[in-house]
A and B are shown apart, each in its own frame.
Chain A
Amino acid sequence: MNEFWSNCLNRFQEELSQQQFNTWIKPLDCDIQEANVRLYCPNRFVMQWVKDKFSQQISQLAEDYLKQPCEIEFIISDTKKIDAVEPRVNTAQEVKKPKEVKKKTDTKSANSDGLNPAFLFENFVTGRANELARAAALQIAEKPGESYNPLFIYGGVGLGKTHLIQAIGNFVKSHNSEAKIKYLHAERYVSDVVKAYGNKSFDEFKKKYHSLDLILVDDIQFFAKKPRTQEEFFYVFNSLIESKKQIIITCDTYPKEIADMDERLRTRFSWGLTVAVEPPELEMRVAILLKKAEEAKVKIGEDVAFFVAKQIRSNVRELEGALNRIIAMSNFTGREIDINLAKEALKDLIAVKSRQITIENIQKTVADYYKIKVAEMYSKKRTRNFARPRQVAMALARELTNFSFPEIGEAFGNRHHTTVMHACDEIGGMKNTDPVLARDIAILTQVIRD
């Protein structure tokens, strides 16, 4: 491998998530002749993606390296030389294997910790939408009870929260077989409390929960309107925090927003680190599909993965469901999985999805969300509590429909198109600095697309 390309690889490996790097950059090969840089791509999808997303950066790096302006040529070629990254990854996997097998037999015999051995960091697909949450989870898994406590992970449904916290549990377990770990869905905890009340078996209950080294509670919003459960959890929480035991919680929203929850708990939930998982972007959805297909021992082409990922944007479960349907159809018909089969398998689904997203629908959803009247979307009022939702709606209209800036302006009470452009810029910029706004937009996007 030439020096330039190995520099490039290092750069990208630092900048991109592992998943992105493996999907887009690692399969490439490169050679340089004078000022001509040739990039060999395994197929046209990778080529298009790299061209769109990374070519500028690559040509910048090439110019820095060659110290002259240069040209990048993209070539489709499936003969990629084996690069240096490969063996390292392989050995890492081999070392891990026996441990995984052992874990499986362990949990089969005593499944009281609630951990599913299939949820690991290794098979958690990472992208921009969840890399922060993953990093936090990994850090905590390495030193439970010592860094952030509690870890509070929130986000919409089907975005991998359970996978992530289960991975923490499995990681801790594999490094310390003595650790007392308990994963449970909030609903299970509620019924445990009810049982303890019914049987007057609180000593047992306390023994069970207060002696844990690591507790993982999924979907804590299910504690809403259950004061006894909340009170019991409050005691568990205090006791575990005090003895430096790790608490990990997932929820569909951030602590302050949880409805019908004791204020003392809400405050405590944000004592440690609160991180969001967001809906996966296209490249991550592609990576997820490829990974899931691999796990199901099915071969799907990247064109198929792209097709599916473009159709289904809202959550990972639906994505997996679509893949399941494609596999089922291939099993039934005995046909190979290709783009035509995928189209056929998802015909019903796509028919439902292709319901056009309208500006009116966006305006209504956004107005509902911010609890203002739809009329404020067209009104001239410029107070912040109307202007901001209006801007959000404009930005969403731009992103989710094909309408032009002038058309969007017109739909928002005949505003000038530069107003819309300004709104899009402003919201786009704020999304990166304001986590509350970023979350609002993620949720609204999910709702509107569904």
Chain B
Amino acid sequence: MKQLLLDIQLPAKPSLDNFLVGSNAEAIHTISQSLTAQATQRFIYLWGAPGSGKTHLLSATRDAAEGLGKSLVMADDVQDFSEQQQIDLFNAYNQARENDSLVLVAGNASPMQMGLRDDLASRLAWGVTYQLHPLSDEEKAQALKARAKQRGMKLPDDVVDYCFRYLRRDLPSLMATLDALDQWSLTEKKPITVAMLRKLIQVPLL
């Protein structure tokens, strides 16, 4: 029997445009603004649970800043920083204040709550701080449906429900699954159903 294969591709390169804002609209706006000449905030700290989009935003901002030739100081997962890394970031931060660079740092809690050096933590709190809120399942389902609609694919509700019940629910995984399903359905010229999905995912996903 021919093995059914779900060809799950790596998700698209993160950008500021393909970030699903959910309830984080202001944070995204501030980040986008910080890259423009009218920037009012140059020091941005993001925190939130895993999957809330910190790394996506960081790497999107890095790409955007590179494209614009803007100098950017960036640090992810600052809660895990060693003493020396913290001192390095502290120095980079001070330097950035002097020479008009952008600073974007992310961690798993608000600046003063991670047990970092006080001098670093208070600097992270100095600019503008956003807690990123992960998308709710509902928002993610909407995002999936919107994407399906955009691609002209038929995505029955029970398939969406099935995905949320049995698959990884972080958005990149969900989106990748959706794309793979679309690809499969186009090649095989078959509609997407729960029964089909169930068969397909017997091949381990991701």
Contact = CB atoms under 8 A, between A and B. Distances in A.
Contact of A158 (B90, B109, B126, B131): B126
B40 interface: yes
A318 B128 contact: no
A82 interface: no
B26 A329 contact: yes
A220 to B, nearest CB: 13
B128 A352 contact: no
Interface string A323-351: 01101110111000000000000001100
Given A156-B118, A327-B40, A332 B25 contact: yes
A321 B42 CA distance: 12
A97 interface: no
Contacts of A317: 122-123, 125-126
Nearest to A314: B112
Contacts of A158: 122, 126
Interface string B29-49: 110000000001100000000
Contact of A318 (B25, B41, B126, B130): B126
A213 interface: no
A332 B30 contact: yes
Contacts of B109: 352
Contacts of A349: 110, 129
B192 to A, nearest CB: 39
Contacts of A329: 26
A283 interface: no
Contacts of B41: 324, 328
A202 to B, nearest CB: 23
A348 B131 contact: yes
Contacts of A348: 110, 129-131
Interface string B116-156: 00110111011111110000000000000000000000000
B91 interface: yes
Contact of B119 (A219, A327, A333): A219
Nearest to B115: A450
A185 B90 CA distance: 11
* Chain B contact residues: helix, strand, loop or mixed: helix
Nearest to B25: A332
A113 interface: no
Contacts of A315: 122
B167 interface: no
A320 B41 CA distance: 12
A60 to B, nearest CB: 41
Contacts, number: 67
A157 B118 contact: yes
A321 B126 contact: yes
B87 interface: yes
Given A321-B127, A321-B128, A348-B131, A328 B118 contact: no
A278 interface: no
Contacts of B128: 321, 324-325, 328
Given A156-B118, A157-B118, A252-B119, A352 B126 contact: no
A158 B127 CA distance: 13
A328 B40 contact: yes
Nearest to A218: B94
Contacts of B40: 327-328, 331
Contacts of A331: 40
B113 interface: yes
Nearest to B48: A348
Contact of A324 (B87, B118, B122, B127): B127
B106 to A, nearest CB: 14
Contacts of A328: 26, 30, 40-41, 128
A187 interface: yes
Given A329-B26, A332-B26, A321 B112 contact: no
Contacts of A187: 87, 90-91, 94
A294 B41 CA distance: 16
A450 B26 CA distance: 26
Given A324-B41, A348-B110, A318 B26 contact: no
A219 B90 CA distance: 12
A157 B118 CA distance: 6
Interface string A176-206: 0000000001010000000000000000000
A450 B112 contact: yes
A114 to B, nearest CB: 9
B22 to A, nearest CB: 15
A315 B125 CA distance: 10
Contacts of A185: 91, 94
Nearest to B133: A348
A327 to B, nearest CB: 7
Nearest to B118: A157
B174 to A, nearest CB: 26
The 5 closest A-B pairs by CB, nearest first: A348-B131, A317-B126, A158-B122, A317-B122, A157-B118
Given A187-B87, A332-B26, A352-B109, 19 more contacts: A116-B98, A157-B118, A157-B122, A158-B122, A158-B126, A187-B90, A187-B94, A252-B119, A317-B125, A321-B127, A324-B127, A325-B128, A325-B130, A327-B40, A328-B41, A328-B128, A348-B129, A349-B129, A352-B113
Interface of A: 116, 156-158, 185, 187, 219, 222, 252, 314-315, 317-318, 320-321, 324-325, 327-329, 331-333, 348-349, 352, 450
23 contacts: A116-B98, A157-B119, A185-B94, A187-B90, A187-B91, A314-B122, A315-B122, A317-B122, A317-B126, A318-B126, A321-B125, A321-B127, A321-B128, A328-B26, A328-B30, A331-B40, A332-B26, A332-B29, A348-B110, A348-B130, A348-B131, A352-B110, A450-B113
